[in-house]
Structure 1
Amino acid sequence: MTNERYETRINRALALIDRHIDQDLSIERLADEACLSPFHFHRIFSALTGESVHAMTTRMRMERALALTRRVIRPQWKAIAGAVGYRSQDVFTRAFKRHFGCTPSAFDLEKYWRGRTDRDDALAVSRYFLRPALPLPPDFKVEIVDRPAANLIISRAVGVYLDPTLIVAAYERIDAFSKTLGIAMPGRLAGASRDDPELVPLSRCRYDFSLEVLDGTRASKGLQAARRDEGRWAVTHVEGDFAAVDRAWNLLFKSWLPASGHNLRPAAAEEIYNQTPNEIGWDRFDVTLAIPLED
């Protein structure tokens, strides 16, 4: 069995953790999802992710918890603890303190950033992380739409913020697959960061290209099948360079969303490609930014 096939199996386990972050998933359940024995699952998971199952699950829970705090002015830590899989607020607080070195109420994002070992690399990618919210310009148009459920084929890259060649390789895999199906990618291809770069080391951040496909389409080697649930999304269109896309994300998340009165649904935000890198290049973008909203 090749490493590529192992990666596909481990990605299925990670997707299961993402979907059920509020539950304690047994090693047996995760191993079964990956079609591996529990004994081998431990070793392969750690070898491919660089973390134990427990360490990664904890990190994903902490990231989700902090994301939940950004939706409200006064976080209800008891509810947040339950939403990320802890049986009590006390257990959650102890886990949070072990992970971040402080209690949830004392967490300071700017202080955390000052202590990050990859801070310079992260700021070289984007200063979005520490920028304040921008005033909403009158021409920043956001539409709320209903997107139907869709079957997806995923091409994943890890560490793309540090090594852009990884994202190019992930794109080329999904591009080659689309050609075998005879599918035109514009409007059907989306990109999604599965981890929050504000809180996750850049070397561990996952980026997925997802292609909408017909029911029953099987993933080829190095890809995986997934599904996007139906739901409401806030969308805005942007054309331009990386700085234009970066600014649009900043406006959408930090300015429009708090003023809108909407709450985020626990799913990844997406960049829907109206023109692909094959058509427009890697330094220009024609994308629709989409964030998932609660009904």
Structure 2
Amino acid sequence: MDIKEDSRKEYIARINRVMDFVGQNIDQTIDLARMAKIASFSPYHFHRIFLYVVGETPNDFILRIKLEKSGQLLHDNPKESVSDIAFKCGFVNISSFSRAFRNYFGMTTTEFRNQDKAVYVKNGIRYSKNCKAVSKIGKHPQQISPQFCSVEFKQLIIMDTKIEIKQMPELNLIYCRHMGAFNQIGQAYEKLFKWAAPRGLVTAATKTVTVYHDDPAITTINKVRQDASILIEGDVKVEGEIGKSTVPAGKYAVGHFEIKETEFEQAWNTMCAWLTESGYQPADSPTYEYYHNDYNEHPEHKFIVDICIPVKPL
């Protein structure tokens, strides 16, 4: 038994439970004592442990999650009032929300809402629907050549695929969380399969799912939370870094793709471009990728994957 490694996994699992609770109760006021109880630590030790594991204090984490969620809602729900969004994100009054929002984003809610929304990504730069480079928090967009704002640009980043509105079932999952660059999530899947295989949870029929909790157009990439997940039936007792989660049933825009590892950015661009002309807007549930195969067994090493975005009518 590796006591040091087991201890590290247990600490991460407890912090993940707190993060999950905050995300599921974003409309509430959550104090340190409540978070510490969820993590089974004293408030004094919890504060220090959370800061060490996450890299920000519990209160800073909660404020950031609430503000970034409000920014996402401002863009995704143009008809919803600022005050309703503030209360939905757990702020008790509009004045405190407005101050906190301006301090974090460097602009008012009106200025933020009037900004072009990032729809496409190309080489790490985000673009609006009219191909204008869009800044993220504290970052300035790079200058781009005018040639990019053309039909050729859209052809370069949009795939020809079938996208449908579907009623998707509830997903019961076990997960290993990854925070950071998207192309590093394989490490979390390795940990998940290493834990799940000896317990008989990995078969030829096993389906994997990557669940996304943050909007990368708003959240800096090193803090974007992604869950490497396996679909399960029934109850599974988890431990260490492995947690349990549920993605709710609901209406989703589903795009079916057969793509190489380097083409995920283009596939997501296709989904986002379609959404802007669909008559739908994003709903509040997490987005996810549902994989139908093991890409290592594909003759061209391609992923057969459904990209699923929760939606509701505009």
TM-score range, shorter chain: 0.7 to 0.9
**Correspondence list, 1:191-230, <5 A:** 191-230=210-249
1:231 partnered with 2:236: no
Using the size of structure 2 for normalisation, the TM-score is 0.78
Query: Which residue pairs with 2:170 in the alignment?
Result: 149
| Residues 82-110 of structure 1, C-alpha deviations (whole Å, 9 max, x = no match) | 11111222221101011122211123475
Report matched runs for 1:4-19 at 5 Å: 4-19=9-24
Q: 1:219 to 1:279 in 2, by over 3 A?
A: farther
* 2:265 corresponds to 1:260: no
> 3-state SS of the aligned residue for 2:162?
coil
Report which stretch shifted further, 178-187 or 192-201: 178-187
Q: Is the 8 A contact 2:10 2:239 kept in 1?
A: no
Deviation at 1:140, TM superposition (A): 3.3
Residue 271, structure 1, aligned to residue 276, structure 2: no
How many Å apart are 1:242 and its aligned residue? 4.0
Q: 1:197 to 1:136 in 2, by over 3 A?
A: closer
Percentage identity across paired residues of the two chains: 27
Per-residue deviation, residues 200-251 of structure 1 (Å, max 9, x unmatched) = 2222222211111122211143211122222222211111224533222112
> How far 1:45 moved relative to its partner?
0.7
The within-5 A match list for 1:58-73 is: 58-73=63-78
- Residues 235 and 291 of structure 1 are in contact (CA less than 8 Å); yes or no, is this contact kept in structure 2? yes
What residue in structure 1 maps to residue 96 of structure 2? 91
Q: Specify the alignment match of 1:53 in structure 2.
A: 58
Cα distance between partner residues in 1 of 2:281 and 2:24: 18
Aligned residue in 2 for 1:176: 194
For residues 130-183 of structure 1, the C-alpha deviation after alignment (integer angstroms, 9 at most, x for no partner) is: xx987998953212222222321111112234xx4x422211122223423243
Segments of structure 2 that go 5 or more residues without pairing to the other structure are 1-5, 117-132, 143-147
Consecutive unaligned residues in structure 1, runs of 5 or more: 121-126
Number of residues of Structure 1 aligned to a counterpart in Structure 2: 281
Following the alignment from structure 2 to structure 1, what is the Cα–Cα distance between the partners of residues 225 and 276?
Answer: 26
Cα RMSD, aligned residues only: 3.1
Structure 1 equivalent of residue 179 of structure 2 = 158
